[in-house]
Every structure is written in C-alpha cells, then in structure tokens.
Structure 1
C-alpha cells in the first residue's frame, strides 16, 4: 500500500508540472480539467490493488524468478549469463521485461508488488509521453482527449497493464515509439539536434521492442521499412538518415538475429561479447504458428475467421485478457474503429499513416499466428486510436459530446464492478493463476523443518511457484532438479525438497500442500493442519 500511495503522489506531482508547462498552460480550463481527470483515472485504475486483484500467473512466476536470479547471481534459471532470450521452460521467454524488473526485485524482493510495478509505472508513463507527443504535434484537443480515453481506458489496456506478462510490455514500448515519432514530426528541420535525438529515440524504441515480444518479429521489419518509406516520400528524412537508422537498429538487434539463426536454422548456445545466445530445447513457434498443422490455406482461413470473431466479440476466453461480460473493447466501440479507418483513409495525416502502417504490418500475424489477445497486442494501439478517430468524426455538437461522456463513464464503471468484484474469484484462481493464499501456504511449508514437501495441487509447470515465493540460487536449482528431459516445455517433478505429485504415504518428516476437497489415498490424522483459504498444509 505504501508503494501505491507513493506512486500516486509522484503522479500527482507529474500532472501538476505538465498542466503548468507551456504545452498546456495556455489551453482552456475545460481541456486542462479533462487532462487532469483522465491522467488521474489512467493512473488510479492501474495502481489500485494491482498486486492482489489477479493471482500469480505461471509466466509471471518464471519471469520473476529469472529477474531475481539475474539480479543476485547474473545468471538466468538455466545458468546463462546475460541472456538475450530467456531459456525459461526450454521454449523460451522474452527478456526485456525481466531485465527492467531487476532493480525493483533487487530493492523490494521477489513478490507481485515488485514484479508488476514496472508494468504499471511504464504504462502510466507512456500515457504522459504520448500526450506530450500529441500536444507537440498539435493534434486537435478533442482528438487528444478521445485518444487518451480509448487507448488507456479500454478494457484491454487496463487489464494488460496490471500484471506482468512479459509480452504485454510490447504495446507500451510501441506507444513510446509512437510518441517519439510525433516528437520527430514536430521538430523544425533547422533544429538538427532535436530532430536527431527524436529520430534516435524512435529507432531505439522500435529496436528494443524486438526484445519485448518475439511474435512481433513478423511485424517489425514490415513496419520499419514502410514507416521510413513514408517519411522519405513526405521529405521528412534523407537517405543518409535512413541508413543511419538502419545501422542503429542492426547494432541493437543483431543478437536476436543470431538467436533466430541458432534456433531455426541450426546451431548451439553461443557466448559472445559477454552475452549468451541460447539454444532452446524446443521452439514455441510449434504451438503458436498455424504452419505445420494441416493444410496451410485452410489453417490461414480458420485463423482469419477466429481473428474476426475475436475482434467482433472481444472475448478470447482467457480471463486475464478479457472479462467474459465485456471483452477487450467496450460494446459498440469497434464500430467506431471502422468509422475511424474510413476517416483516416479519406483525409490522412502522417499520424494517421503511422497507425495505418502499424495495422497493415500486423497482417502476417493475423494470417499465421494462432489467435488470442496476447498474440495480437501489436494491433491494439492502431485499433484503439482508430476508435478515437471515428468518435472524433461523429461526436461534433455539445449534445453528442455530453452523451458520449456519460456513456463512456457508465461503461467504465461497469468494467470496474465486474473486474474488482464480480469476476474477482476467477481472476485470482483461473486455470494457470494461483491466488496469494497459495503463496502464503508455500512460504509456511518452506519454513518447516521437513525433508520433503509434496505439492499435489499445482498446475502443469507449477515448479516455478515455490521458486517465485521462496527463491533459491539458480545454481542450487539446477543441481537439485530432477534429471528429466523434455521434447517441449519442461515440467520437473521435483527439485530439492519439493515434489510436485501426490505421495503414496506421508512420512513423519514430510509435508503436504493440497486443495480443499482434493482426495488423498491415505489418512492424515497424525498430521497437524493449517488452512490458507482453499488450501491446506498438513505437517
């Protein structure tokens, strides 16, 4: 709670500074009030109970443990030094978010407060930076307000920004890149230093976004080439500046190019310039791409069908991505995105071009990557902006403005009621989510003087749960883990005193964690019981 209050305090200071800056100071009282209200809402909805509302996801557990390992030992869970991509379960994990989380985990310890905090703060920061970019570019005030509403107060962005799935960092980094693009467009050609700084920031953000989510490697080269072609055709950039941007990008992403070569074309783990480019045991592309699963054209057609269904219904049936009653967009809002697409095509600005290029660059993802909200996160910024663009072309008079404000406020309230109350149980105990009470049980069990701890209630791959709540050196973990090999994702049956199965008998020096109602084929009368919500510890 202290971290949350401190964050809100600092955000209020940032709002005061922004409102009194030359960009906002001369604006109308109504616009200033709208900006203050929106920024407070954007920050508050992300900070409020972000650590307790949703249970620990297994991806968070793995990313958090790797951040902790790198912070304290300079090694990831597979004993790789300075990895450019995490080995994780053997199928890999994007490295950028765990790297960013290292100082937070180092300072606050390994827990959900520390590991989710960077996602929360960076998402709020991106709202401030994009707002400044839109003000510098001198977008109409109404479009600025609507963009903040649709981008940062949509159900998708509010949910994605409150937990630490490492791939959810990509839209935030891309949003910062978009802001840097606006900074670049707003600079005078005579002010070369500011132009070059803005251009470097844009290129840097696009390049490091490749470390945020590997699925979007299909999108980034198309976007990069198309956006620089657009700048060149608009005479905003020279051929020499394009070459320089390409070289900077190559300097940043070459380790990932080598990673792709090793894992898709053959090779082994390489240690180069203090970096580790790991060879994974299996590629996630087998489970995330439609290629290699039956007839290609039929698979692509099915993918497009699922994409349309997801966008229209807004529900991918994963509770941490979309609430079943609401979806990733508010009802009807996608219709405004279609109107915005038409408006942007009819009368384009360079800002519209940026969003349209982003949209088109995602076509390979739509065609060959299995459809769910996480896999489509590169699409979210342009779609949400087009919602704002559509609303801007329709909401013209005072009555329509008031009507929309009331409608959006009502939808926002409905979302908060479902998210924080009605769906709370599902959010804390979904299929691969574990509630905080399980963390309490794990910590209690670990503190007991016992030879073996049997965890009979963990999901597949759940060996990372005690690694998150009671972390041990990655050296110890690799020494103690069961000698097992896997064709796909690792699912170790034990490490150290932890065993992830139901025992035949429970000896005197062993302990059992189980869920209420779970059947055990032996008596527990000789054991003491401690309750943690729906979990029981017998010791």
Structure 2
C-alpha cells in the first residue's frame, strides 16, 4: 500500500450536494494558508538579513571578493579566468554561489546583505521544489501545505538560508534535482531525463560533498530502475550526456589535484590546482563513531553557532520521533516496492538519505558531520517528518477518531508556539548570546576612510596592522575592492607562497606583531578586548569607528621636547654627530632617563626619511647599581639604522613616556 492510499482514508465521501461549495471553500482556505506562509516566510528570511548573523563569515567574504573579481575582470582573486572551482583560502570552494553573486556585487558592492541575497532566493527555490516533491509523494494539497509549513518553521532551514556560504546551495539544488528525477520516472519522457541530467550537473557546482553523494545516489537509483524496468538505455543516455558534460571539468579538477598536475585551461575556463587538496577531510578512522554520530548532529544540533541553536535543535526535538517514524515508514514502502517491482516515489527519499549518510560518516572528527556539510539530508528529514505525522494520525484515528482530529491541530499549535519562541530569540537575543561568532568579522572601510581624511598624511602612511581575525587580508580586499591585478604582487610566482601573499600589502600588515611596533597604526575589532586593553595601556591615541578601534602613536609627530632627559651615548654618536659604521647599517647605543619623573623611557624610536626604527631595550645593570634603583635596569637601548638612510641626514630620535604622554627629542643633521 503506497502513501496515496493512506490519504484516501482521511475523509469519507460526504455526497455531492454541497460538493462545489466545499471544494470552493477548500480552495480559498488553501490559497489563504499559502498566502500567510509566503508572507511570514518572506519576512523571516529578509528581516535584518545584513545583521543576523552579525558580521560576515570569512568564506562569505572570500566568495564575495571572488564574485566581484569575476564580475569586473573575469578572474578570481588569483587571476584564474572563470574557474570551475574557486581556490579561496587554499582548500577550494564551490563556484556556483560566486557566479550567482557576481552581478549583485557589481551593482551594489560587497556587504552582508548583498552576499546573502542568493541564499534567500534559493530558500524560495527549495520551498517551491519541496512542495512539488510532496505532490509526487502524496498528491494531496493538505500534505503540500504541511510540507510548506514545516519548511517555514524549522530552525535549520532559516539559519542555513541566512548566510552566504556556497555549501548551502546544495539544499536547493538537491530539491530541484530530486524533483526532476521523480518527474522523469513518472512521465517517462526523454526530455525529462535530460532535465534531470542538467540539474544533477549543476548540483555538482553547489558543494563539493555532492561529488560523492550524487554518484552513490545515481548508482543505487539506476540499479533499482533497471530492476523495476522503469528506465531504458536511451533514457539513461539522455540523463548521462548533460550530466557528464557538466561534471567533466570537475572530474578534471579532481584528477589534476590528486596527481599534482598543473592547472588547465578549457577555453575561457580554468581548471585550478589547489594549494591544499582536502582529501584528508574524508577519513576511515571516524566511520565507527559517525555511524551514530551522524544522526546525533543532524537530528539534534551541532556546535557551530550559525548552524544550530542547541536549545531548539535543528528541527525542534518534537520532530525527532516523527522523522524516525517517517523514515521507518519510508523503508517499509521501499521494501514493499522492491518485492512487488512497483515504483514508489519514497524510494528516492530513502536512496538520497542513504547516499548522504554513506558520505557523511566519513566526514568530521568522530562526532558526526556538522549541519552545513550534510545540509541536503534535511530535505529528506522534512518529508519524513510530514509522513510521520500522517502515519501517526492514521494510527491514532483507528483507535479514537476524535483524539486524532484533536491531536493534529494540537501538534500544529505546539509547532507554532515553538516557532514563535525561536524567532523571538533568533531575531532579538541570538546576536547578544553569540557575539562574535567564530570565523566572523567585519569590513573596515570606514576606518580606512577616517585615516585618510582625519589623520595627517604621514600618520596614515605608517605601517598599519590589522587583526585580530581569520584571513584578515580578505576583509581588507572586500573593504577596498582593489583590483586583483594590483594585489597580485606574486602573480609570476607559481605556485604562490600563500603565507607571504596574504601577509601584507603596501603599508598594511594583516596580523598583529608579536612585539608592539610603537611606530605602527592598529585596526582592532571591537570584540578583541585583549588587544584593545594592550594598546590602551601603551598610551596610543584611540578612536572607535563602527565595529573597530583605531590606535596610533601621536607622540611620534612631536618636534619639540615636552620633558627633560639625560642621554648618554656609548656608540654611534660623538660630539652631537652620528658616526656611521663601516657596514650596511649603523648601531646607535646608549642609555637614557626621564628626568621629570625619574623613570626609564617606554620607547626610543629613530625617525628618518619617513621610516621608523624602534630601539631594542637593553638591560643596564651597571647603571641600576650605581643609582641603587632597579627601576633604571632597562634604561639601555640599541638602534640599528641603514647607512643609506643616515646619509640623507635629518634624523630624529624620540624618547617616549606613554604613561605621562611626554617625550624628549634629539635631532641630528
């Protein structure tokens, strides 16, 4: 007995007297229900999309800058022409999202809102095809409505569709592909198998996990279709040809990277060689733990804040028994269909679940894959949940009809309450509880504009350190949107020395130094309290601009002394003149004290030819012993200055006391 027969038992025929009126009322109710779902669905997917989740994920920013490069120059940031797979941060990233995003960032620039628009669009794509699939499974408008309702209220679908990650397109592309498969098997037309092949080929460009899931699924499906005599050789060719043509560039990409070959060009398209081929992301060692861990993370929650909220679970904990019931019923229908060699649409859901599961157990560290890695499993869970509700309804109805009729609206009501509590938390409390999510950061073009417009040019042109975050350089590129041809200073160095390529650009350094550079500027995210405290203690000037703090050393601009000092030179300065060493550099060493406050200077910095040369602090036990005060122990210093700089003259040496914001200046021509 298939699922459609269950639905025929829901309502008895009540005669034909008021049939037209009843059908009209049902149609009106159905359209009103769908109108309400679409309104709520649109609102929750668009409301505060640029600020929840707060910040921009590092992969979002990488994709966004690549999308901008593709729209403006026809290359990614590594100057690869129209790559079939993005390199991103060395390990690769599926390209479909970037190509969809390219016209948007070209028109509107890079922002969290713009980067997430394709995700919103694909949430509607998923809804559309999910309902179309439901029609194949049950052929009942009420079940279609139930699937749409559940898709709207489940946390996992909302959270996955509010972040611009390439992987999350797999959910929508999977829904489209499975619909076209069901349509092809049902209608048995060659053109439908052709569409199934095209959608399957495009699915491969949504997320690399599909490169394993899809072949496993198609292998199992074709075997069953042949067994049931539901597919011909001709139909297989109609599906295989577009699928192979679309998959071929990705197959070449894997071949190149598995065997360490050079990148390849196919016309305007590039088959890239990655810097890190992530074959080690799949491991046999985790299979044992993942056999159950897969269901633990997918049915409950994972530890990634932008995937799951543990209190609510991925699909609410109420859904777990319903999903398991639907899964069990689907397996039963699958077995019955095999016995009778009779096609059953639930076969597709069971095979898809099995394919994702077979792939997922090889991913992760043993606690199961995380939610976004196997996001397409939730499409099957959605249908299992709806089917589980139907099965339990019919079971209870056999025992007590009134209880079943009362239980269904109660269940829907509970879901509505859970949805209300979840959305209230997600839109108003979630950010405070998770701020700032790991791997998220902010653009800082407002800080760069402030430096250019408000600070003296000589200050703005100092070495500027930007941190504290993951892949800080990509946020700089996203903030400035400079040409990849300008940034690719190592374009002739293949393969790139990635650590050097992402370390700096002009006077910008994309990390904080291990030791404070007193001559540098610092751009610090407002969440990095440890670094903020450190630079505050150092006495730097501070400005809070948007989501960042800007620190700079204003004392370096002083031309006259604001405190008295005693300076004794041991080497390099004689009779008030610098005596250069017979080498490339000259060492200037000695000791100095702040006479106004009887302390040592915090920093000694030489300024020459627009460059800064901080001194190394030297221990002077001899001086501390003579003065009988260990406060003066670190009064020594040593400067190293290139002779080419000294030959130009006009050297300023500044002794700085950050605590009292005073300095002593000596100048040498």
For the superposition of Structure 1 and Structure 2, which TM-score range results when normalised by the shorter chain?
A: 0.7 to 0.9
Matched ranges for 1:44-83 at <5 A: 44-54=43-53, 55-83=55-83
Task: Determine the structure 1 residue equivalent to 2:151.
Answer: 151
C-alpha distance in 2, partners of 1:140/1:324? 34
Matched length: 499
What is the alpha-carbon distance in structure 2 between the residues aligned to residue 480 and residue 422 of structure 1?
45
1:495 aligns with 2:505: yes
Distance 1:35 1:490 in 2: 54
Is the Cα contact below 8 Å between 1:304 and 1:366 reproduced in 2? no
Between the aligned partners of 1:422 and 1:245, the Cα distance in structure 2 is 48
Distance in 2 (alpha carbons) for counterparts of 1:78 and 1:44: 38
User: Which residue of the partner structure matches residue 513 of structure 1?
Assistant: 524
Match of 2:38 in 1: 39
Q: For the structure 1 residues 421 and 490, does the alpha-carbon distance in structure 2 shift closer, same or farther, using more than 3 Å as the test?
A: farther
Displacement of 1:111: 1.6
1:221 aligned residue:
215
The answer as to 2:324 corresponding to 1:332 is no
- Structure 2 residues not aligned, in runs of 5+: 1-22, 335-342, 395-403, 553-669
**Cα distance change of structure 1 residues 310 and 112 upon mapping to structure 2, 3 Å threshold:** same
Partner SS for 2:375:
helix
Q: Is the 8 A contact 1:319 1:426 kept in 2?
A: no
The alpha-carbon deviation at position 323 of structure 1 amounts to 1.1
Query: Conserved in 1, the CA contact under 8 Å of 2:213 and 2:356?
Result: yes
Q: Show structure 1 runs of 5+ residues with no match.
A: 1-23, 190-194
Q: How much has 1:427 moved relative to structure 2?
A: 4.7
Partner Cα separation in structure 1 for residue 449 and residue 191 of structure 2:
48
CA distance in structure 2 between the aligned counterparts of 1:257 and 1:513, rounded to whole angstroms = 42
Query: Is 1:282–1:489's contact at 8 Å kept on the other side of the alignment?
Result: no
- Higher mean alpha-carbon deviation, 324-333 vs 86-95, is at 324-333
Displacement of 1:463 in angstroms is 1.4
1:39-58 per-residue CA deviation (whole Å, 9 max, x = no partner) reads 22222211111111112000
Q: How far apart, in 1, do the equivalents of 2:136 and 2:62 lie? A: 40
Q: Give distance in 1, aligned partners of 2:224 and 2:40.
A: 35
Q: 2:391 aligns with which of 382, 393, 414?
A: 393
Map Cα deviations across residues 99-146 of structure 1 (whole Å, 9 max, x no partner).
111111112112222211011012113312432454477622332122
Q: What SS does structure 2 have at the residue aligned with 1:513?
A: strand
Q: Equivalents in 2 of 1:487, 1:315: separation in Å?
A: 38
User: Aligned pair 1:358/2:352, yes or no?
Assistant: yes
Q: CA deviation at 1:366?
A: 2.6
1:283 is matched with 277
Alignment of 1:471 onto 2:481? yes
**In terms of Rg, which structure is larger?**
2
Q: How does 1:159-238 map to 2 (within 5 A)?
A: 159-185=159-185, 187=187, 195-238=189-232
Seen in structure 2, the aligned counterparts of structure 1 residues 521 and 341 have a Cα distance that, compared at 3 Å, is: closer
The answer on 1:409 being equivalent to 2:416 is yes
The corresponding residue for 1:529 is 543
Query: Deviations for 1:268-306, whole angstroms, at most 9, x for unmatched residues?
Result: 1111222111111112232x2224xxxx3xx32123243
The equivalent residue for 2:559 is none
Residues in 2 aligned to 1:442 and 1:215: alpha-carbon distance in whole angstroms: 39
Mapped partners of 2:452, 2:214: distance in 1: 44
- How far the C-alpha of 1:66 sits from its partner, in A, is 0.4
Out of 332, 343, 347, the position equivalent to 2:329 is 343
Aligned residue runs from structure 1 range 312-327, under 5 A: 312=299, 314-327=300-313
Instruction: Provide the C-alpha distance between the structure 1 equivalents of 2:264 and 2:465, rounded to a whole number of angstroms.
Output: 36
1:453-491 CA-partner distances (Å, limit 9, x unpaired):
63453313221112122211111111179x998999888
The 8 Å contact of residues 480 and 495 in structure 1, kept in 2 or not, is answered as no
CA distance 1:200–1:357, shift in 2 (3 Å): same
Structure 1 length normalisation: TM-score?
0.84
Say if 1:447 and 1:466 are closer, same or farther in 2 by CA, change over 3 A: farther
Q: 1:526, CA displacement in angstroms?
A: 6.3
Q: Which residue of 1 aligns with 2:297?
A: 310
The answer (yes or no) to whether the contact 2:170–2:206 under 8 Å persists in 1 is yes
Task: Give SS of 1:431's match.
Answer: coil
Q: Distance in 1 between matches of 2:193 and 2:318?
A: 37
| Structure 2 CA distance for partners of 1:484 and 1:109, relative to 1, 3 Å | same
Q: Please identify, of 426-435 and 206-215, the stretch whose mean Cα deviation from structure 2 is larger.
A: 426-435
Report how far residue 30 of structure 1 moved: 2.6
Greater shift, 98-107 or 36-45, is seen at: 36-45
Q: Return the offset for 1:495.
A: 1.9
Distance change (3 Å), C-alpha of 1:122 and 1:309: closer
Aligned position for 2:91: 91
Cα distance change on mapping 1:343 and 1:136 into 2, 3 Å: closer
Measure the CA separation in 1 of the matches of 2:361 and 2:122.
Answer: 30
The structural deviation recorded for 1:152 is: 4.1
Which SS does the other structure have where 1:219 is aligned? helix
| Closer/same/farther in 2, CA of residues 394 and 87 from structure 1, 3 Å limit | same
Measure, in 2, the Cα distance between the counterparts of 1:528 and 1:311.
Answer: 45
